[in-house]
Amino acid sequence: MSRTSAEETAAMQREQIAAYERRGPFWGRLTQFGVAVACAAAIVGSWLVFNTVVGFYPGTGVVKSTPKERPAQATVGECRRVGPVSGDGFGYWWRCAVTVRTGDGREVRIVTGNSVVTPADRGRPVDFREACFGKGNTDCRYGRPVSRVWALAVTSLGMVRIGLTILLIFGVWYSLVRTVVGVPRYYAWLNRREARRNPVLPLPVRPRSHPYPGLASQSLRIDFSCPDGPFVEAYRSTGPRLLLDGVEVPVPGWGSHEFAVPAGPISVRVVVPFGGTDDFAVAEHEVTVGAGETVDLEYVAPTVLGLSGRIRVTGRTG
């Protein structure tokens, strides 16, 4: 993930967490549950709309030249009207008992929906088509003779419906998970997984003759801060760890602290231990300290556990 996209993702997560916190845990979870219900309703609604549109197609559904459609004759029996909402979609439709006589002398009794035939077709033979699929041609479909272009359009629409349904099912799952655990904890879990897949590689460690901490006329003054938010208590229950050129230096806690360092380039790495791991809130920066100079750094932990922290130079004196 590029730096720009990572920053955009982090900003989006902060906005959603802020909205959740403004509503509070109860209304925040209820909002997520409402989204899950809306996605489930959209699944049902999309299927009804699809069935309504498909209902205007009375053919067998055959798109290719095989299997071949064979001529047949249909006799319409009893009909029943369904609607305004049914498995046939929106509106009122006729479902009729039909006896189909095929060209080889067979009689097949079926029930047609979506007004493929209506009571107006009783008392006369209706021109039908038969298309059989599968081993032994045992799976047969029946309908009126129509252009294959219609069948292709219906098939394409069916593929769109399947894609939309999969997307909405994911939306239901996504919203239900956020309902159960809450938005902040969901992003903490998500970002921790991302951090494990793409760990922050440490800066190269250069051997030093001067240990940390030690006496030196130059220093790093680092302000360690954690943001207010859903994880502020988690941050306060622990504290930052500081590694200078790979050597851990004791840190009293959050706030501003000064550390004596030798002159020259120094790799600065800050992490926040949490849950028995050191892969949270990682930030690294390489800074060059001149002889007799004090370099001011600012480390800011992320709003969401699991994201990277931020460290930057804020000033120099000496």
Tokens of 33: 């549950």
What is the reported pLDDT for 11? 73
Looking at the predicted structure, is the pLDDT value of residue 187 above 80?
no
Q: How many residues does the chain have?
A: 318
Of 184, 175, 179, 58, nearest to 115 (Cα)?
A: 58
Any idea which residue has 């001067």 for tokens?
210
pTM: 0.60
Any idea which residue has 């029996």 for tokens?
77
pLDDT digits (tens, 9 = 90+) for 201-210: 555 555 554 4
What is the reported pLDDT for 302? 84
Looking at the predicted structure, is the pLDDT value of residue 195 above 70?
no
Query: Per-residue pLDDT averaged across 289-293, rounded?
Result: 90
Of 109, 39, 31, nearest to 74 (Cα)?
A: 109
Query: Per-residue pLDDT averaged across 265-276, rounded?
Result: 83
What is the reported pLDDT for 209? 47
pLDDT digits (tens, 9 = 90+) for 82-128: 989 988 889 999 999 999 998 888 899 999 988 999 999 998 999 99
d(CA 298, CA 285): 11
